[in-house]
Structures are given as C-alpha cells and as structure tokens.
Amino acid sequence: MNDTLANTEKKTAYILTLPAVLLVFSIILFPIFANIWISFKEVELKDIRIPEPRAKKIVKSISDDPSKIKILYKLRNSSLIQEIRDVSFQDNFPKNFEIENLDPRCSFKKYNLKCEFGNWPAKYRENFQVIFATNDGSKIDKKKLKSIKPKLDGKSDNILLNTNFTLKNFKKVLFENEFVDLLLTTFYYTFFGTVGSIVFGILTAQMVNQKFYGRTFMRSVLLFPYVAPVVALAYTWELLLDPNSGTLNSLLLNYKIIETPINLLGQKYIEISILGFDFKLRLALTTVIMFEIWRYFPLAFLFILARLQAIPKELYEAADVDGASPFQKFFNITLPQITAVISILFMIRFIWNFNKFEDVFLLTGGASGTRTLPINVYQQGFAISDIGMGSAVSIVIVVLLLMFMFFYFKLLGKRVDEN
C-alpha cells in the first residue's frame, strides 16, 4: 500500500517537473554543450543557413492562343557554397490541362507535374519551361494558376552536423586575439564593478537603515537604476556624456572647469598626474565601470539592507552603554554581521559582471579599450561572422567561470571548516 503511494508520488513528481526540466535543458544546457561542438568547427554565419531549392513561377500567355499557356520556373540553389542532392519538384494544375512538351526528367500524372532534377551544385540556376493547353479549349485563369505554388525538396549536408573538427579557433582565441588584453579588460571591468557596487551598497544601506523622513521613497528611488530597462539608461548616459553637446561636458565648460570637452566614452587613455606622478587612466573603461556600479549597486544595497535590519537592536544598545562611537559601532558590530552577505554578493555580482554584455555593448560597442570577453563573443560571431570563433570564446568564458566557482567554493568551504 505504502509502496504504491510512494510510486504514484514519484510518478506525479516526474510529470510535474518534466515540462520545466525539458525546456530548461533544451534551451540552456544543450546550447552549452553545442558550444563545445561548434567551437571545434570552422563555421561562418553564412554556412548555417540550410541550402534550399527554390523556384519562381512565371505564367506567360501565348499570343493568338488563349487556350495555351507557357509556364516558366526560375530554378535555383539558394546557397552559394553548398550542393543540394536529389532535388524533386511537384506542381499541380487544373483538371482540364494537358501538357505539350514533357521534359525527360518529368512525369505528368493526374494533373500533377513531378520532376527529378538530380543534384544541383552551389549557385545553380536553370530556367525550366513547360507549355500547357486546355483540352476543352476554355480560357485559362492566369491568376489562379499563379496562386498554386510548386513544392521543391532536396537533401543537403548540414555543415554543423559533419565530423570535421579543427583546433584552429582555440589557437586563434588564445594566441591571435590579444587574449591577455581581453582578459585584463574583463578582469578590471568585473572586479572594480563588483567592488564598487558593494561599497556603494554598504554606504546606501547604512544610510537608509537610519530613520529619516521619506525613507521608503528613498528605498524605491535607490532601486530605479536596477529595474529600469538597460537600453533607456545606456542611451541616456551616452547623451549626458557626449563630447559635442552632452550635458556633462556643457556644464563643465560652462563653469570653466575644463577647457576642451572630454570624450568619456570614446577616449582610451587619459593622462593624469597626481603628486607629480604621471599615469594613464583607461578613461572609457572607467566610465563603463561607473555605469556598471551605478546600475548594480542597488542589488547590493537591497541585500545588505535586509541583513542590517535583521541585526538585533540589543547589540547597538549594549554598545551605547559602553560608550562606543558611531565608527566603532560600524566596524565592530555592523561590518562583522554583514560579511557573509558581502561574500555571497561578491560571488553573484562577480559572475554576472563577468558575463555582462548589454551595458558595454550599448555604451561603447566594445571600442576604445572596453572590449570584454562577452563583447568578443558577439564581435567574433556576428560582426566578423565567425561562429566557430564566437563559440570558442564562449567556451573560454564558461571554463573561467567554472574555475572561479571552484576556487570560491573551495575558499568558502575552508572558512566554514575553520569556524
């Protein structure tokens, strides 16, 4: 009895979870494995279109004879690079039609024209012509004839499914792609974006955790950059920072703080001298990181605020009795209480920043020293149209991510053991 109950429970569980699991696996897990497959192939964007046999039907009347008609099929292979094998052709005609000239490749039975065209090489074109006459001499309705579409079929190799593999993509990614520069840029972007958003998150959470008028409103406002669509925000920032007529540059010029406009999103380096030391700051990258921090510190804020509100008040009351200063309270009570949340946040944000594509893409498109790994996936795959290369870069991203997760959990596991 119990056994059957457990069995039905199992069965129901599988039925209930199956749709979701299937969908997620086919759209998320399968592509990750497909990436591995594609990354070992030489595939370009144009190769992934499946070659199709096509026919354009042109109906022409024959002068002096309304009961006869000429039909011209413009046949072609849609692919410029691949052959189509065993092309077959079919078209239907009204019941009173008789064929005048039958091509040896074709047969006409039951008002159905069938042809076997054999193999079509790449770029193949042919003008195929048939003449019909009505057996009762009635007039032919050209429109109706045109509305019947021929059916074509053929076999072709799918370049993605053959078993020719190459290591070329990975060689290119690792040795010809300014790989070190790419890694460094991604790392700067990810690391400073993460740290910045956490620091601002702590500051704002500490701020909102105090009582003041309009506190709930402030909490909503702080989340605006996080919930608003990235497209709108990126273009607004671009407009604010534009060197020619952007608001920021106009303001700075107006107050005579700068003399020439600064191209914050288009300039790779800016020379800065602090205390006599000259160094080059990566300007566009810094701006993009600022945007990143601006957009994602709300998440850190929300997590940390939730944690702050859970800290027992007695701790602070006890500290007050001991005469602790606000800073002592912050460093000795608040900070230790939020380290766990910060370490989780660091991981989540690090991973997501590492994969961030939209923000950089919309702000700079990866130009002026802001090319990160995800941007490179897009550039290789769609701008240069090299799908194989794009996949190889994706694989590099996945491998780096797995490495990061591994080290993170190892480190975290050690910490837990020590306690």
Q: Choose, by CB under 8 A, the member of 64, 104, 180, 227 that binds other proteins.
A: 227
Backbone region of residue 111 per phi and psi (left: phi > 0; alpha: psi in -120 to 50; beta: other values): left
Q: Choose, by CB under 8 A, the member of 96, 170, 225, 269 that binds other proteins.
A: 225
Taking the C-alpha atoms of residue 267 and residue 242, their distance in angstroms, rounded to an integer, is 11
Q: Choose, by CB under 8 A, the member of 96, 343, 355, 385 that binds other proteins.
A: 355
Q: Choose, by CB under 8 A, the member of 143, 180, 229, 314 that binds other proteins.
A: 229
Is 394 among the residues that bind other proteins (CB under 8 A)? yes
Q: Decide whether 145 or 362 has the Cβ nearer to other proteins.
A: 362
Residue 63 Cβ vs other proteins, minimum distance, rounded to whole Å: 41
Interface stretch with other proteins, choices 45-53, 67-75, 85-93, 142-150 (CB under 8 A)? 45-53
165 and 133 in contact (C-beta within 8 Å)?
no
Is 24 among the residues that bind other proteins (CB under 8 A)? yes
3-state SS assignment for residue 116:
strand
Sign of CA dihedral 205, 234, 365, 398: positive
Q: Choose, by CB under 8 A, the member of 58, 102, 184, 251 that binds other proteins.
A: 251
Sign of CA dihedral 180, 183, 186, 190: negative
Find, among 50, 49, 53, the residue nearest to 116 by Cα.
53
Is 367 among the residues that bind other proteins (CB under 8 A)? no
Q: Decide whether 202 or 283 has the Cβ nearer to other proteins.
A: 202
Q: Which residues of 396-418 are buried (b: 16+ CB within 10 A; e: fewer)?
A: bbeeeeeeeeeeeeeeeeeeeee
- For residues 79 to 98, the per-residue mask of contacts with other proteins, x marking binding by CB under 8 A and - elsewhere, is --------------------
Residue 50 Cβ vs other proteins, minimum distance, rounded to whole Å: 6
Residue 204 Cβ vs other proteins, minimum distance, rounded to whole Å: 6
Interface with other proteins in residues 199-218 (CB under 8 A): 203-204, 207, 210, 212, 218
Q: Decide whether 15 or 275 has the Cβ nearer to other proteins.
A: 15
DSSP class of residue 121 equals -
Is 2 among the residues that bind other proteins (CB under 8 A)? no
How many residues comprise the chain?
A: 419
Which one-letter amino acid corresponds to residue 283? L
Residue 239 Cβ vs other proteins, minimum distance, rounded to whole Å: 6
Q: 127 - beta bridge partners?
A: 74
Interface with other proteins in residues 105-164 (CB under 8 A): 158, 160
Residue 49 Cβ vs other proteins, minimum distance, rounded to whole Å: 6
Calculated CA dihedral for residues 312, 318, 319, 323, nearest 10 degrees: 160
Interface with other proteins in residues 295-354 (CB under 8 A): 295-296, 299, 302-303, 306, 323, 325-327, 348, 351-352, 354
Is 230 among the residues that bind other proteins (CB under 8 A)? yes
Phi and psi angles of residue 66, each rounded to the nearest 5 degrees, phi first: -70, -10
Instruction: Report strand pairing: 53-61 vs 112-120.
Output: unpaired
Find, among 334, 373, 328, 339, the residue nearest to 353 by Cα.
373
